[in-house]
Amino acid sequence: MEDKDATSGGGKTPRRRWIVYGLLGAGALVTLVAARPIAAAVQEAEQWHGRFAGHFGHHSLYPDAAREHLQVAARWALRDVDATPEQQEKVNAIVASAVTDLFALKDRHLANRDALHQQLVAEKVDRAALEETRKAEMEVADEASKRFVQAVADISDVLTPEQRQALAERIHHLHGG
């Protein structure tokens, strides 16, 4: 159900803007459970952060802020699947650990982005250097993907099959399925 008052903010509906703004919040947990590569989510968050910094300030890409947002998201996502307080605590610990590990990759990603920029603005583009930068970025993405899958598997171990099914149905419904 979309709100018709959606012409500002790049044509996004208020609901979609909430998802964008909440990427490191509710959207991130949904992303974890829905098996979307976290590397792409972090990259999108950086892009969105640049566009919407005036709305949220610069705190949204700090690990502590991300952990806090994800803890709220975990409570939101798990409340409707009757997760016990112990399950919620375990999921929060898994997500917090994943955030720490994934943010550790951010500096390498930014270095690769800067290297790509420098290569593209050089007088002559060095194809070999571009390829090395691509390989370095793929290594970062691979590490992020592996850490993401580990977090998804760890969360799956905490939840019962019924809870995972209920959560998957909720996510599917939220994404218009």
Tens of pLDDT, residue by residue over 66-116, are: 888 888 888 888 988 999 999 999 999 999 999 999 999 999 999 999 999
Give residue 47's pLDDT. Answer: 52
Q: Residue 156's Cα: distance from chain center in Å?
A: 18
90 vs 10, more confident = 90
23-63 pLDDT tens trace: 444 444 444 444 344 444 455 555 544 444 444 444 446 78
Closest Cα to residue 148, out of 59, 32, 55? 32
Domain boundaries, the chain: 14-174
Structure tokens belonging to residue 68: 């806090």
pLDDT class for 176, splitting at 50, 70, 90?
confident
Question: Per-residue pLDDT for 138 more than 80?
Answer: yes
Residue 162 and residue 146: Cα distance in Å, rounded? 25
Give residue 114's pLDDT. Answer: 96
Question: Per-residue pLDDT for 131 more than 60?
Answer: yes
pLDDT class for 18, splitting at 50, 70, 90?
very low
